[in-house]
Amino acid sequence: MKKIWTEEYRPRTVDEYVFTDPKNRQLVESWIKNRYIPHILLSGSPGTGKTTLAKVLINELEIEPYDVMEANGSKEARKIDWIDSVISFCQTMPFGQFKVILIDEADYMNINSVQPALRGLMEEYAENVRFILTCNYPNKIMPALRSRCGQGSIHISKPEMSDFFNRVKNILTKEKIKFEEEILAEHVAATYPDLRSCLHSLQRNSVTGTLLHPSDETEAAKDWKLDAIDLFKSGRIREARQLICSQAASEDMDTVFRWLYDNLEVWSTDPEKQDEAILAIRRGLVNVPIVTDQEINLSATLIELTALSL
């Protein structure tokens, strides 16, 4: 238990990486074969392997550590002052063929200052520097940046639920953890398609060598999404709704609505009602940028969804 599973099972080569689209594999393999990459934009849901793929490329292309700069669009790369460090990095010659600037969560970069500044740098230093951007929502990346990554735009689709389940099941087996598939299924339902979150949840709930039911976690370690799943399944709808609204942060609403969408079976197993659930989730998501009270908007969406399960 001393090792962190998310790092232990992080792919480091293209052969280890699990592609959901064969065309993406072919494109990445061609870059590695030709020892060349364009500016790249990797998009997809949280935990689907965007940053991992970026690091696989950096590793496979044997980019010198001194030639790699990493930043986070929701932290340092959100502020315009950060651009000065990018310029300094770009102005020095690379030790190898080119330098790489990897920006995680690039969709959080300020669209009125940082993103326009980055647009010019991607052109000015294109000969010696490559930018790799990862994001959950490519529509939040300004069109000028998306166009500069045109040749390298890759959307990473979520894996099939069964593939996701089997992958984490194999990890538990390798770690010699005893588990019941029903308990594992509850962890998967609460975290899919975020493999990173699922592995964190599984590791902290199997320290005894046996995977615990989510409700058996200590209060400090509980994942509110897991608890919400349990409450919904036990028919304690109002408690589940109150829990979600109390734990979901305003800045994470996009992720919360995506989680609602990824767990349609909680609201109904009937295909027609699931279609209605999608429409309800879409309405709530559309309202996110225009409402002043996110809790009311989320609560209203949950009321619509739970009405489908009655």
What gap in Å lies between CA 88 and CA 129, rounded to an integer? 12
What the chain holds in terms of domains, given with CATH numbers, is 5-156 (3.40.50.300), 161-309 (no CATH)
From 175, 165, 226, select the one nearest 195 (Cα to Cα). 165
Tell me whether strands 153-156 and 99-104 are parallel, antiparallel or unpaired.
unpaired
Element (H, E) at 238: helix 237-247
Residues 6+ apart with CB under 8 A from 185: 165
User: Between these two residues, 204 and 60, which has the higher pLDDT value?
Assistant: 60
pLDDT (mean) for 181-210: 89
In the chain, pLDDT over 90 holds for what percent of residues?
A: 59
Q: Calculate mean pLDDT across residues 139-159.
A: 92
Q: What pLDDT, on a 0 to 100 scale, did the predictor assign at position 251? A: 66
Residue 212 backbone dihedrals phi, psi, to 5 degrees: -90, 150
CA pair distance 6, 195, nearest whole angstrom: 8
In the chain, what percentage of residues exceed pLDDT 70? Answer: 95
The residue whose two tokens read 């490519």 is 138
Tokens 């500069």: give the residue: 148
CB 47 within 8 A of CB 5: no
What are the backbone dihedrals phi and psi of residue 111, each rounded to the nearest 5 degrees, phi first?
Answer: -75, -15
Distances (CA, A) of 39 to 87, 129, 145, 147: 16, 9, 9, 10
The mean pLDDT value for 1-9 works out to 84
Residues 277/264, Cβ–Cβ less than 8 Å: yes
pLDDT at position 158 is 86
Of 80-94, 245-259, 266-280, where does mean pLDDT reach its minimum? 245-259
pLDDT at 221 over 60: no
**pLDDT, average across residues 230-234:** 79
Q: Is the separation of the CB atoms in 149 and 41 below 8 Å?
A: yes
Average pLDDT in the chain: 89
The Cα–Cα gap between 45 and 136 comes to 5
The answer to whether the beta carbons of residues 30 and 76 sit under 8 Å apart is no
Q: The whole model's pTM is what?
A: 0.72
